[in-house]
Chain A
């Protein structure tokens, strides 16, 4: 077995088959988008199981406890994980967003302090970026940070924080230079959540569940060493982190999408919608979209290491988000009038997907912001007139 990619498939595929069983069997296909609230404790235990056998942080360099996987190996890893119905990863914010940022910008002591908790599944992270008045205009941060003795003290509010209820730490951008505006004067701080100065309020969302939360800081405190970079580096670090969001995990996500398409096909066969010529056209188009996303990801990954955004990388977010939203609508049209009924008193997976997919075109840059980015950065069109700040 000399091919390192095939080796990942064999080794990790076997591990998944042997380990996603017994008490973990109920986690199959659970805990993904729109289903984040499923089995939070058991999923943390699963995370620890992955960590024990060295399957967390496989893309990190070996010196930090990773396996130093190449991109093709990461692709294989993520595809195998999804192929066996691996549940939504409780630790993914720490593993795929925070850890690469920490490795790039953190001090030796910070890496030593925080990487093991992520790798072992004992510490969980959430992201404090958006605020009520800093959404698409993310640099309009109002949360304030000041130094008081040995500590940073935070006052303000974050919103749309995923998984905050199950997290131990948050990474937060805040304004440290009074009177600064826009991208200047920001800090990137690490805040422990279990303290009196922090209140977490779940937001009840369109599905009736609550994956997103509000975070309120009232003199919340963290040690003054818990800053990445210096005062003023916050924006640069926050943006670098967003860059890590586009990565190999997109292929794992596509395996989940493929599974949803298969469910819809199965249902259409069962309930006779498979004979409706318009539904057939729409299902074929959805299937075509899957193939297009997979190939776009391969193109994107082949140039990812050059550091430059390639053309197809710009379309990735808006393409999958719009595709998934359309898939939700298709799923409901295939269900027909059954779509209106919550059998057993709760939404089935397709209903949940339909509702939750309305978030896809909003979070991590709305479709409208994506079009701005495409037109200005990929196509070089003139910038919108902006306010005086930044």
Chain B
């Protein structure tokens, strides 16, 4: 078995791959989500989370999860990314799980984690540290571009309370919360604005408290999942390109036999394998190297996906530019991933601050 995987990981990979490819169906899955205008597929999420039990892949076993941590989650996200499967795993199985496990009180963990793992609730994270204010026991604020905000059953809000950062769980259906689906360039992963007006703290279950720096660390680490999605998506783009250029003939030869094509494919492969190493490194990194490794993974993998998706369109020629051919969904997802929860430049800047021992 190639490092760092075990047979458990292979079994999960097989299961998620079969599910996601079936859903994708050569691009029909993405097209269906586009036509629905919702940016996610509720049925698919119910199957993945409830039937396959994948929502709790990183949830500790004592709370009903598989306890497979970052590496298990990387395997799941890679396969979901390869089929652009429109399910809110990134939020529920990703950051919401991490916030609960890192900051949740024992009571909060016992209350929410088993339901997250079973797919009974789907929390999304709303970063409100600078956008949500607490005044006289009421929360207010409007946060935009929340991934899968319209798919969430609950929100985990972060906000300042008595000099600390509080994390509060609230039902998405609360009458003081308005969720509006935004119209997005990438139609297969929804973004929403979440407007909170005079939401009573009584409606919010505070699951734990922390400080800004620690919260940022956990958020950064959580996006190893996003990086894994990028690796899966990029690999799918390269696979499509190899298949297409192997069949397409010009000058009486498959265009895959021309060096100009081959070398571009080699560069795509190099970018993907480097990103894969970055992601796996982050998934298994020791505690003291984890945050840096996660930043490296996110920067490297989001850049690789965007490069590879763009190259794939170029190497497909005209057909790559059409709506009919599903590459555009990958290109748009790759573009979106570069700016969700910070850009590659942000990540590199934070890495540099660590190296120089300063903050630029």
Contacts and interface: CB of A to CB of B under 8 A. Distances in A.
A295 B263 contact: no
Given A288-B300, A288-B348, A315 B273 contact: yes
Contacts of A362: none
B301 to A, nearest CB: 11
Contacts of A376: 262
Interface stretch (A15-23, A198-206, A213-221, A365-373): A365-373
B45 to A, nearest CB: 31
Given A284-B355, A288-B299, A381 B274 contact: no
B269 to A, nearest CB: 6
Given A295-B280, A381-B242, A372 B259 contact: yes
A366 to B, nearest CB: 12
A315 B281 contact: no
Contact of A284 (B238, B242, B267, B349): B349
B339 interface: no
A376 B278 CA distance: 25
Contacts of A315: 269-270, 273-274
Which bracket fits the contact residues of A?
Answer: 35 or more
Interface residues of B, number: 42
Nearest to A268: B356
A51 to B, nearest CB: 32
Interface of A: 265, 268-269, 274-275, 277, 280-281, 283-285, 287-289, 291-292, 294-296, 298-299, 301-303, 310-312, 314-315, 318-319, 368, 370-372, 374-376, 378-385
Contact of A265 (B2, B345, B355, B360): B355
Contacts of B257: 381-385
Contacts of A303: 2-3
B342 interface: no
Nearest to B353: A280
A4 B241 CA distance: 46
B351 A287 contact: yes
A235 B281 CA distance: 37
A292 B300 contact: yes
B131 interface: no
A70 to B, nearest CB: 14
Contacts of A381: 242, 245-246, 256-257, 261-262, 265
Main secondary structure of the interface of B (DSSP, over half): helix
B352 A371 contact: no
B293 A291 contact: yes
Contact of A319 (B256, B261, B265, B274): B274
12 contacts: A281-B349, A283-B355, A284-B347, A288-B296, A288-B348, A292-B274, A292-B300, A311-B269, A311-B273, A312-B273, A318-B266, A378-B269
B200 interface: no
Interface of B: 2-4, 238, 242, 245-246, 253-254, 256-257, 259, 261-263, 265-267, 269-270, 273-274, 276-278, 280-281, 292-293, 296, 299-300, 345, 347-349, 351-352, 355-356, 358, 360
B200 to A, nearest CB: 44
A74 to B, nearest CB: 15
Given A288-B296, A382-B256, A295 B269 contact: no
B356 A295 contact: no
Contacts of B348: 280-281, 284-285, 288
Contact of A281 (B4, B245, B345): B345
A314 B270 CA distance: 9
B289 to A, nearest CB: 8
Contact of A274 (B242, B266, B358): B358
Given A284-B349, A384-B257, A384-B259, A296 B277 contact: yes
Given A280-B349, A283-B352, A284-B349, A295 B281 contact: yes
Given A374-B270, A379-B269, 5 more contacts: A281-B345, A302-B3, A310-B2, A381-B265, A384-B257
B279 to A, nearest CB: 9
A274 B359 CA distance: 11
B3 A284 contact: no
